[in-house]
Amino acid sequence: MNAINWSDWRIPDGKALDLSRLPTLPKASSETDKLQWPARMTVLAEELNRLQAMLYASKTRGLLLVLQGMDTSGKDGCIRTVFAHISPLGVRAEAFGVPQALEQRHDFLWRIHGKTPALGEMVIFNRSHYEDVLVPVVKGQIKHAECEKRWHHIRHFESLLSDSGIAIVKCYLHISKDEQKKRLQARLDDPLKHWKVQASDFEDRRHWRAYMHAYAQAIQATSSDTSPWFVVPADSKAYRDLMVAELLVHTLQSMTLCMPRPTLDVRDFKMK
Ligand code: ADP
């Protein structure tokens, strides 16, 4: 199987971005490898498990995975699949909804900072501080100048995390408007999925172009060497999950983690 080239989907710093030009499906060459995706996922799951155990034991680094995307882009599903075989010890998923009254009275990073990973932890953000730029700008509550200020604060915030040993991987799960239509319809058709149906999903869909523009601007303003954005084709659920797993494994491998030195000489202990 050709290696899945996650680096194809990395957005370089400051490069002008038009999401409508980026694919929501994998390349044809990756499609031909489709049959081998499950086997690759098994290998990645094992490697992720091994590396996460080392991250937890060594407590020298942390990892933050930010998942963003339109409704039905698969943030929940991706978390369920990619982290299915990892010990919950040291792993946490945090979801961010509409800010509550107290949160609204603080700066927009206040509720986020306390949820970031400690050294040794892996944390997944299901939505994030990026909502605080995307939603208000699409709703016309803030203007471009305020967006620029918030991107600036985000860059500094993420740079603080990075300087504190936290690796950051940000994935925009890129689905097409047609694929979203199918997935929303599937939710309406399945009584077990009715709990997920929100009026805001349909409202946001009406502002699709404005969201694409807001996402493109936010991504290009905040992708950096230490906190890169990846635009992951997400119309195929299997490919989306594989890409995110590849990215996490690569990020953990590049930390060159090792197990902590034993505090005791194990040769002193004999089993009777
Ligand atoms: P999800 O859609 O992620 O499964 P919910 O159905 O709880 O989860 O939706 C969360 C909602 O909260 C989304 O519509 C999202 O845009 C909104 N939201 C999250 N953060 C903010 C924010 N900072 N400002 C405004 N809306 C937000």
User: Tens digit of pLDDT for each residue in 80-130?
Assistant: 999 999 999 999 999 999 999 999 999 999 999 999 999 999 999 999 999
Looking at domain 6-257, does it have CATH number 3.40.50.300?
Answer: yes
Q: Is the CB of 71 under 6 A from ligand 1?
A: yes
Rounded Cα distance, 173 and 184, in Å: 16
- Residue closest by Cα to atom 5 of ligand 1: 97
Substitution candidate for ligand 1 out of 131, 184, 187, 215 with most atoms within 8 A of CB? 131
Q: How do 229-233 and 10-11 pair as beta strands?
A: antiparallel
Q: Is the CB of 241 under 6 A from ligand 1?
A: no
Q: Is the dihedral of CA 166, 238, 183, 212 positive or negative?
A: positive
Q: Is the CB of 77 under 6 A from ligand 1?
A: no
- Residue closest by Cα to atom 15 of ligand 1: 97
Task: Identify whether the C-beta of residue 134 lies closer than 8 Å to the C-beta of residue 208.
Answer: no
Domain-wise residue ranges, the chain: 6-257
Residue 2, pLDDT > 60, answer no
- Residue closest by Cα to atom 13 of ligand 1: 97
Q: Which of 96, 171, 87 is nearest to 127 (CA)?
A: 96
Q: Which pLDDT value is given to residue 27? A: 86
Within 10 Å of residue 218's Cβ, how many Cβ atoms? 23
Q: How far is the CA of 38 from the centre of ligand 1 (A)?
A: 31
Q: Starting at the edge strand that comes first in sequence, how are the strands of the sheet with 10-11 ordered?
A: 10-11, 229-233, 166-174, 62-69, 122-126, 91-95
Q: Is the CB of 131 under 6 A from ligand 1?
A: yes
Q: What pTM was estimated for this model as a whole? A: 0.96
Q: What is the pLDDT of residues 132-162, one digit of tens each?
A: 999 999 999 999 999 999 999 999 999 999 9
Q: What is the pLDDT of residues 60-83, one digit of tens each?
A: 999 999 999 999 999 999 999 999
Within 10 Å of residue 101's Cβ, how many Cβ atoms? 6
Q: Is the CB of 246 under 6 A from ligand 1?
A: no
Task: Identify whether the C-beta of residue 257 lies closer than 8 Å to the C-beta of residue 61.
Answer: yes
